[in-house]
Amino acid sequence: MHNKTLAELSLGLQAKTYSSVELTQLFLDRINQHQQLNAYITVTPELAMAQAKVADQRLANGTADLLTGIPIAQKDIFCTQDVMTTCGSKMLANFSAPYNATVVDKFNQAGAIMLGKLNMDEFAMGSSNETSYFGAVRNPWNLNSVPGGSSGGSAAAVSARLAACATGTDTGGSIRQPAALCGITGLKPTYGRVSRYGMIAYASSLDQGGPMTRNAEDAAIVLQTMAGFDEKDSTSVDVPVPDYRAGLNKSLAGLKIGLPKEFFGEGLDENVAATLATAFDEYRRLGAEIIDITMPNLKLAIPAYYVIAPAECSANLSRFDGVRYGYRCENPVDLTDLYTRSRGEGFGKEVKRRILMGTYALSTGYYDAYYLKAQKIRRLISEDFKTALASVDVIMGPVTPSTAFGIGEKIDDPIAMYLSDIYTIAINLAGVPAMSIPAGFVAGMPVGLQLIGDYFSEDRLLNIAHQYQQVTDWHNFIPTGFE
């Protein structure tokens, strides 16, 4: 059963082929069996089984939703009432939230089963899931390789069939990059489409939650539950949520696909480029037209992002001071010592690096030179997307420069690590939706294809992804040892 898609599992539950209790126990057993991935920080078997029994009652009395009885897992950045929410950090290693994130409440209302909380880079800062206080997550396609980050635990769990689907968050590529490296489908919605209430903030103007699933149909089902206006989130946008499954089977005849030349230059692995070329050929056969475009300001995305995101991180993480909740140092001699040692001992190296970068960029005399200039560049990047999407229906390109790299390979080289997100960061700066879908393999490791659309065009992206997945089977491949 674990090899079935979410949509197939839902049909089986509705048909009473198996119960939610049986399905939930199956996934709990798999989690226990495959602990070598280190995908989960917290597993919640008692809660999961209690929820499964309630789900079976809903299935029996005909009040079930598509997600009712489906075992899912939450990235450990979404607050869950009375269940640990650590953000992969020592700072929150003892923290249980007194409330649920809006996203968690939505899944609960749909009757989904929470298996546990998934490992992640500390406070979502990382591209390899190696910065977690709870240890690195391993890629199920090669246990010596990274799964990507920060939603690496989510990607590994879905890829290895340790959950039917998972939530992720994307600040600069943290849904799409791990989805690509682990061979699954990951969707970053338009900024404001999914509520950020109860999602612990890294960079408030960039963070966005989204689904990580086997395929586009499953992503449509999960996004249907996650999306929608939330009055508790000031960044939430009050735009109607369409039926994401309704348009999955629309023809792609006449679709205009733009390929930015900036995505296909130096730095892109030639084998990844060749794999993507095959995917573009498949889209041509589906009736699409491929158009070369240029987006000249994309090259500025990395420097702009690594001013804006650390600046917002510096402000957001100032709340973790050892006073109200979270880690507190032992025997502080005074308040300054309490602040200094609690933060020094509670945060990891990468988090400290970004706090320092952000604080510097916001400091007197540097705000105009760095932060303000970065925001101006952000506007130019947004205009690039606006111009491009006026002439094409969707932009396509790589998600990552290469397939998954080895654990430890880039951890001591921050610049090399940051360049892992070179094709994803601009999307967050612009706030447009994008997704990664499996497009093939290079030397046995997955390659992702990135689809980028206009604001609130998630339904169109899902349609474009689904049609490709009807004529390819890359999304059905399973890592050896997890069949």
Identify the pLDDT of residue 191. 98
Within-domain flag for 341 = no
Residue 335: how many CB atoms within 10 A of its CB?
Answer: 11
Within-domain flag for 389 = no
Identify the pLDDT of residue 88. 98
Phi, psi of 286 (to 5 degrees): -85, 0
Identify the pLDDT of residue 415. 84
* Beta carbons within 8 Å of 414's beta carbon, 6+ residues apart: 350, 353
Query: What's the rounded mean pLDDT across residues 203-220?
Result: 97
Range(s) of the domain holding residue 51: 6-254+436-476
Judge whether 464 and 252 are in contact, CB under 8 Å.
Answer: yes
Question: Which residues are known to be catalytic?
Answer: 75, 150, 174
Q: What is the mean pLDDT of the chain?
A: 96
Question: What tokens were used for 120?
Answer: 């992640």
* Beta carbons within 8 Å of 200's beta carbon, 6+ residues apart: 77, 78, 79, 85, 87, 92, 123
Query: What's the rounded mean pLDDT across residues 244-263?
Result: 97
HEC string of 117-182 equals: EECCCHHHCCCCCCCCCCCCCCECCECCECCCCCCHHHHHHHHCCCCCEEEEEECCCCCHHHHHHH
DSSP annotation string for 373-412: HHHHHHHHHHHHHHHHTTT-SEEEEESSSSSPPBTTSSTT
Q: Is the pLDDT of residue 369 over 90?
A: no
Torsion over CA of 11, 110, 24 and 446, rounded to 10 degrees? 70
Total domains in the fold of the chain: 1
Within-domain flag for 236 = yes
Identify the pLDDT of residue 444. 97
Q: Give 242's DSSP letter.
A: P
Handedness of CA 67, 72, 74, 79 (dihedral sign): positive
Rounded-to-5 percentages of helix, strand, coil across the chain:
45, 15, 40
* Beta carbons within 8 Å of 256's beta carbon, 6+ residues apart: 288, 289, 291, 391, 392, 393, 394
DSSP annotation string for 311-329: HHHHHHGGG-SSSSSS---
What is the per-residue pLDDT across 274-303, written as a single tens digit (0 to 9) for each?
Answer: 999 999 999 999 999 999 999 999 999 999
The three-state secondary structure class of 425 is helix
Identify the pLDDT of residue 368. 86
**pLDDT interval class at 317 (50, 70, 90):** very high
The three-state secondary structure class of 482 is coil
Say which CATH number the domain at 183 has. 3.90.1300.10
Q: Is the pLDDT of residue 481 over 90?
A: yes
Within-domain flag for 330 = no
Identify the pLDDT of residue 412. 87
Identify the pLDDT of residue 106. 98
Distance between CA atoms of residues 77 and 122, nearest Å: 9
Within-domain flag for 79 = yes
Residue 471 to residues 137, 184, 286, 458, 466: CA-CA distances in angstroms?
32, 16, 9, 21, 9
Identify the pLDDT of residue 19. 97
Identify the pLDDT of residue 1. 85
What is the per-residue pLDDT across 143-172, written as a single tens digit (0 to 9) for each?
Answer: 999 999 999 999 999 999 999 999 999 999
Residue that has been written with the tokens 């060749």 in this structure: 274
Within-domain flag for 398 = no
Q: Is the pLDDT of residue 366 over 90?
A: no
Q: Is the pLDDT of residue 416 over 90?
A: no
Percent of the chain with pLDDT over 70: 100
Within-domain flag for 198 = yes
What is the per-residue pLDDT across 88-134, written as a single tens digit (0 to 9) for each?
Answer: 999 999 999 999 999 999 999 999 999 999 999 999 999 999 999 99
Q: Which helix (H) or strand (E) holds 426?
A: helix 425-430
Q: Is the pLDDT of residue 420 over 90?
A: no
What is the per-residue pLDDT across 54-76, written as a single tens digit (0 to 9) for each?
Answer: 999 999 999 999 999 999 999 99
Distance between CA atoms of residues 149 and 3, nearest Å: 24
Within-domain flag for 297 = no
* Beta carbons within 8 Å of 405's beta carbon, 6+ residues apart: 128, 145, 146, 420
Residue 151: which of 416, 421, 380 has the closest Cα? Answer: 421
Identify the pLDDT of residue 52. 98
Determine the longest span between alpha carbons in the chain, in angstroms: 70
What is the per-residue pLDDT across 343-365, written as a single tens digit (0 to 9) for each?
Answer: 999 999 999 999 999 999 988 78
Determine which of 17-21, 322-326, 352-356 has the lowest per-residue pLDDT on average: 322-326
